[in-house]
Amino acid sequence: MSSRRSFLQKLAAPIVALPLLSEKTKAGSINPLAMPYQGPVLRVAIMGLGSYGRRVADAMVACKKAKLTGVISGTPSKIKEWQSKFNIPEKNCYNYENFDQVKNNPDIDAVYVITPNALHHDQVIRVAKAGKHVICEKPMAINAKEGQEMVDACKAAKVKLLVGYRLHFEPKTLEIVRMRKDGELGKIMFFQGLSGFRAGDPTQWRLNKQLAGGGAMMDIGIYSINGSRYMVGEEPIWVTAQETKTDPVKFKAGVDETIQFQLGFPSGAVASCLSTYNMNNLDRFFLNGEKGFGELLPATGYGPIRGRTHKGELDQPHITHQTVQMEEMAGIILEGKQPIIPVDGEEGLRDLKIIDAIYAAVKEGRKVSLKV
């Protein structure tokens, strides 16, 4: 298994044929994607035409509020392929040298940046300066300093910066968050997040510090970081962390293989998490309170997510994550909609501050205080 993308894709394999719900869900509520829509549409260009960019593009076919209208790539053959498949006109196609010209293109409202982590900072700032809204894949940047500069640039340009946190719209995830908010779990005591798989191809960009900014923590561990925050419902105030490296040839200096980390929260709740590129079968969130619990297993795959609580199995139906994400992000950008769990640049910046602190805790061997 060569990457997180293929790991998550494998988890999704059984449900490829079930991209959308019928008009009525199990709970009897209406599926918004099955209803007529005549409102404004967010016109999106995707930057980076790799496997995940393709997944997003395919998912957007079912969107009502978002439409793929442009592409940005350094590979001409990919641009031609996407033009044919998604009916994209030549005038909406750009490369990495000239994409600043989107400034003058009324067919594009937002750019979704899906490139290697280390490229996000400069590309997002260029898009913002071109006056377009930005959606950026996670991690938003390779450190908090870069993340802050991206947030500041988008504010200065008066454009929105959103981060590709698809799970913030996932129904079973949101149900556990609702139960926690409504007090059904009681006082939260503990969260466990397990995020990992065995990385394959040693030449992939995710194992290149200059492109990835790190290793497993940047790619898969961020799920447990982010999940601990929205599951517990607080921001951590300290972190401790320990790194294990069994293959220093494959995982070179600055590319973490396995990190265990612990987070402490103001209420006294604690989190124990694992991020790894060297173990399979690790995709679980567990939230424990004085009155009950919530579990997601798998927790972060492309779906279906499976979950249970002390009250029984969760049966919220599955909709393709990227379809829902793009619909909801269109609502945020076009209608000022407020998501239950934030997906803005400040949310991405908080995760980066925690990642910085985890790496510091590993290096210094001590508890690191946090203020995110």
Question: Which positions are catalytic?
Answer: 138, 223
Query: Any residues with CB less than 8 A from the CB of 309 and at least 6 apart, and which?
Result: 176, 179, 185, 292, 293, 294, 295
In order of 13, 92, 116, the CA distances from 139 in angstroms are 24, 27, 10
CA dist 94 and 282 (Å) reads: 39
Q: Note the Cα 16 to chain centre separation in Å.
A: 20
Query: 269 with 233: CB under 8 angstroms?
Result: no
Phi first, then psi: what are they for 94, rounded to 5°?
-135, 160
Question: Can you list the pairs that 89-94 forms with residues at least 24 positions away whose Cβ atoms lie under 8 Å?
Answer: 92/45, 94/45, 94/70
Using omega within 30 degrees of 0 as the cis cutoff, is the peptide bond preceding 202 cis? no
Query: Any residues with CB less than 8 A from the CB of 225 and at least 6 apart, and which?
Result: 193, 273, 351, 354, 355, 358
The DSSP output letter for 152 is H
E-only strand ranges, the chain? 42-47, 66-72, 93-94, 110-113, 133-136, 161-163, 188-198, 238-244, 258-264, 270-276, 278-289, 293-296, 307-309, 312-313, 368-369
Ramachandran region, residue 269 (left: φ > 0; alpha: ψ -120 to 50; beta: rest): beta
CA dist 8 and 166 (Å) reads: 13
Helix axes 222-232, 345-364, angle to 10 degrees: 110
β-bridge mates for residue 283, sequence order: 195
CA dist 170 and 144 (Å) reads: 26
